[in-house]
Amino acid sequence: MSTLTDAANKVPLMFRAQVEGRCQVQRLIPKALEQDAERWADEWVDKAYPDAPNFGKDVQTRPYALSWRFITNSGQDDGVIRPVIGARGWPFYPGSSMKGVFRQAAHQLERAGELKLGTCDRYCGEKLENNDFRPGILRFHGGYPTDTRWTQNLVDIVHPQQQWQVKSNDKEGGAFIQISLYKPELIVGISSTTPLDDLEWEQIWHIWETALSLGLGCRVSAGYGQPQQRSGDILYRTRLKGQGQAAKLVDGTGEFRPNVFRAAIRGHALRIFGGLTNADQAEGLVQDLFGGIRGGATVGLLSMAFLDTQLELDDFGQGSYSQPTYTVEGELLWRLTRDLPQPQRQALTKLIEALTRFAMVFGGFGKSWRRADHRLVYPDYYDQGYKPLIGCHWEWLGKRSQVRDVRVRKLEKVGDFIAEVRQAAKEWMQLQTRTPQLDTHANWREAWHPDKVQVWGRETDGLEDCEAVRWLHGPYREAIPSVGIPEGSIYRSSITGQMGNVGRLWHRMYPKVRLVKDPENPKKPMPLVTRQYFELVTVFPDDSVESEQLLGFLNGQQTLFKKLWPMPRH
């Protein structure tokens, strides 16, 4: 028998000890030539059959495209989330999971009176009084991708960073890897033990599609497993366009990850609630809304999907500063994941609208969301050659969003708008029997409380008429030695932040969209996108000298910016 040389190193990663030196799929090693996860995925794809498995001929099937990534945890490898591998080595959405969400949806539709009572039991089985069980008539066969596109972009990097973004500079975790499918189209199968007519099949697919609208697989509240169709109980939807820095996949290519919306808005929810009550209650409220892992995994009330209608990935910058970038347009949807009494439903709708608008007014989404896009507001910056890509830029897209979602049409409206957001949060809290406490706040860097944060703003003539961007890269005030005024600067201070240290200043250019009369339909207002922008600077002061001096400068030594929040008491 011939012996294999170097046999141990030819063993596929799946069959190796999951320890350092042999295989660590979940671990991201910075600057490694090849990540274990990439090799793991290649080995998997390489051995999978080229054609998809087929369902039997008595199985009814339908295909569904998903809007972004999809993950079902196999549960077989501790420490890494990777798909279930089914027939022919293809990723598989298990029938048992399918049945679970189907049953849930059927129950929900029964309670809502849309389905005849007992339908769910007929389809999915029921427990009988004598502890026996009567099986349902339906068989759920699970789902497979419809073609080999699933083999692309399997390696997915996840960065847990809420702690770091909102609360303090302690980083949790870092990056880890999971294996998920990128924008797959899945075909799912259902069969029945008794023949059913077409009408009944329609009803069955309707139940399934209700289930589907909440997302399939795991991490659905983070935007995974969301269908590319506008169904389900949609609380709020709006259209956006934006540009900024794309997330980097392990191989260095860019990906626009729709979970940036959820991350940003979840973060803002924490800030707003953190300004109305203590840390513990704020976290509880946010967990109820968006899901989380505090005290056991919870599915949130809200699930998010972003359906892109246009997406381009590109690169910006030279040499080691080269970064993947995106420009994207699409529709952002927030769905309700379970029934709520009407007053709560209304309050939640108001809240998620308010939080999304808040994110749009004061920041952006994704990497570098605290800064205005330097390519637009400070193009000279890049004339110097080797400079990092900074900031992002987002705008409301389309008439409907520009009419409904723009709440700040005048600079003076910013204060009212913040009050409106806080009011929406207070109303939601009260319905959750939590009393807002105006004199407490969470002890976080960015809790949104009048004692913790100030918003300053001005109206500008265009994107390049941008003042505060210069404060980030040089002095905001020249020294006047004759009267003993030293140079003022927050450059490289705790205010602007540095690598590994989140700053205390947000800088945003928010487009001014006016409402004018539509000449063809004078009763209806029409949005008019102007050349002007509101330049907004949000500061979370700390007790540093730079912070004190900046506030002194804003309050007394300049006239461009007005203080917008907290508003002076009347």
Please, what is the minimum distance in Å from the beta carbon of residue 6 to another protein? 7
What does the CA dihedral 341, 344, 347, 348 come to, rounded to 10 degrees? -90
Decide if residue 84 touches another protein (CB under 8 A): no
Total residues contacting another protein by CB under 8 A comes to: 18
Residue 162 φ then ψ, to 5°: -65, -45
Whichever of 24 and 277 has its CB closer to another protein, that residue is: 24
The secondary structure of 175-224 as a DSSP string is -EEEE-EES-EEEEEEEESS---HHHHHHHHHHHHHHHTT-SSS-GGGTT
Whichever of 23 and 336 has its CB closer to another protein, that residue is: 23
Please, what is the minimum distance in Å from the beta carbon of residue 44 to another protein? 13
Decide if residue 20 touches another protein (CB under 8 A): yes
Mark the segment that binds another protein (CB under 8 A) among 29-37, 75-83, 118-126, 240-248. Answer: 75-83
Decide if residue 17 touches another protein (CB under 8 A): yes
CA gap 99, 86 in Å, rounded: 17
CA gap 390, 314 in Å, rounded: 15
Decide if residue 557 touches another protein (CB under 8 A): no
Mark the segment that binds another protein (CB under 8 A) among 73-81, 190-198, 385-393, 413-421. Answer: 73-81
Decide if residue 383 touches another protein (CB under 8 A): no
Please, what is the minimum distance in Å from the beta carbon of residue 37 to another protein? 16
Contact (CB, 8 A) for 466 and 499: no
Please, what is the minimum distance in Å from the beta carbon of residue 344 to another protein? 37
Contacts of 565 by beta carbon, 8 Å cutoff, 6+ apart: 414, 415, 418, 450, 453, 454, 455
CA gap 486, 521 in Å, rounded: 57
Residue from 2, 21, 199, 545 in contact with another protein (CB under 8 A): 21
Contact (CB, 8 A) for 106 and 124: yes
Decide if residue 7 touches another protein (CB under 8 A): yes
Decide if residue 39 touches another protein (CB under 8 A): no
Please, what is the minimum distance in Å from the beta carbon of residue 528 to another protein? 59
CA gap 13, 10 in Å, rounded: 9
CA gap 137, 535 in Å, rounded: 61
Residue from 3, 194, 384, 433 in contact with another protein (CB under 8 A): 3
Please, what is the minimum distance in Å from the beta carbon of residue 19 to another protein? 4
The alpha carbon of residue 415 and the mean position of all alpha carbons in its chain are separated, in whole angstroms, by 26
Please, what is the minimum distance in Å from the beta carbon of residue 163 to another protein? 21
Burial class (CB in 10 A: 0-12, 13-18, 19+), 346: middle
Closest CA to 374 of 389, 395, 394: 389
Contact (CB, 8 A) for 489 and 474: yes
- H or E segment to which residue 414 belongs: helix 413-431
Whichever of 80 and 222 has its CB closer to another protein, that residue is: 80
Decide if residue 14 touches another protein (CB under 8 A): yes
CA gap 35, 48 in Å, rounded: 20
Decide if residue 295 touches another protein (CB under 8 A): no
Sort strands 133-134 and 126-127 into parallel, antiparallel or unpaired.
antiparallel
Decide if residue 29 touches another protein (CB under 8 A): no
Decide if residue 78 touches another protein (CB under 8 A): yes
Decide if residue 131 touches another protein (CB under 8 A): no
Mark the segment that binds another protein (CB under 8 A) among 20-28, 113-121, 368-376, 510-518. Answer: 20-28
Residue from 18, 60, 146, 278 in contact with another protein (CB under 8 A): 18
Whether residue 522 has a cis bond before it, omega within 30° of 0: no
Whichever of 6 and 383 has its CB closer to another protein, that residue is: 6
* Residue that has been written with the tokens 């009407």 in this structure: 342
Residue from 49, 63, 76, 438 in contact with another protein (CB under 8 A): 76
Contacts of 36 by beta carbon, 8 Å cutoff, 6+ apart: 13, 23, 24, 25, 27, 29
Whichever of 42 and 209 has its CB closer to another protein, that residue is: 42
Please, what is the minimum distance in Å from the beta carbon of residue 143 to another protein? 22
Decide if residue 6 touches another protein (CB under 8 A): yes
Decide if residue 79 touches another protein (CB under 8 A): yes
Whichever of 44 and 456 has its CB closer to another protein, that residue is: 44
Please, what is the minimum distance in Å from the beta carbon of residue 8 to another protein? 4
Decide if residue 197 touches another protein (CB under 8 A): no
The secondary structure of 17-74 as a DSSP string is -SSTTT--TTB--TT-SS-HHHHHHHHHHHHS-SS-----TT-EEEEEEBSSEE----
Task: For 146-159, give one letter per residue: b (16+ CB within 10 A) or e.
Answer: beeebbebbbbbbb
Mark the segment that binds another protein (CB under 8 A) among 16-24, 42-50, 283-291, 292-300. Answer: 16-24
Q: Which stretches of the chain bind another protein, using CB under 8 A? A: 1, 3, 6-8, 11, 14-22, 76, 78-79
